[in-house]
Amino acid sequence: MDKIKKRFTLLNAVVEAMIKQPETIKYPFAAMELPEGFRGAIVFDPDKCSGCGLCVRDCPAEALHINKKSREEYTLLHYPARCAYCGQCEDSCRHGAISHSNKLVGATTHKDDWVLVFKDSKASQE
């Protein structure tokens, strides 16, 4: 009797699993809902950036770099592969120029994607 009961339980579980929606998501083919406050890909607003370098100073992963020639002339770079998506740069920036989006960071095989030019003051003057 016990054996039959066990078999029914198993059969029940199999049927349930066949009917139920899968727990996993076919990402990236299906959209993934991320929770509010998720620290995803970094977004940058070059117009708000003053070039103060606080984000670079506070980044624990050395994922930000600033090449500064003068107060007005500088380049701010981001290295996504080094980034820990910790949120420190967002906290450090007094101008709201750098923040996290609610989007996942895509994988890449293009080496150009390993360095993002957040701001090139020369280019924005042209």
Binding characters for ligand SF4, 14-53, by CB under 6 A (x = yes): -----------------------------------xxxxx
For ligand SF4, the closer of residues 95 and 120 by Cβ is: 95
Q: Cα torsion at 58, 61, 63, 67 (round to 10°)?
A: 50
Q: Report the candidate in 85, 68, 82, 86 with the shortest Cα–Cα distance to residue 122.
A: 68
Give me the residues paired with residue 99 across strands.
Answer: 43
Indicate whether 87 belongs to the interface with ligand SF4 (CB under 6 A): yes
Based on the shown chain and the rule CB under 6 A, indicate whether residue 98 belongs to the binding site for ligand SF4: yes
Q: Is 65 in the site for ligand SF4 (CB under 6 A)?
A: no
Q: Distances in Å between the alpha carbon of 7 and those of 1, 14, 15, 18?
A: 10, 11, 12, 17
Nearer to ligand SF4, 92 or 102 (CB): 92
- Residue 117 is inside which H or E element, if any? strand 116-120
The residues binding ligand SF4 (CB under 6 A) are: 49-55, 59-61, 63-64, 76, 83-89, 92-93, 95, 97-98
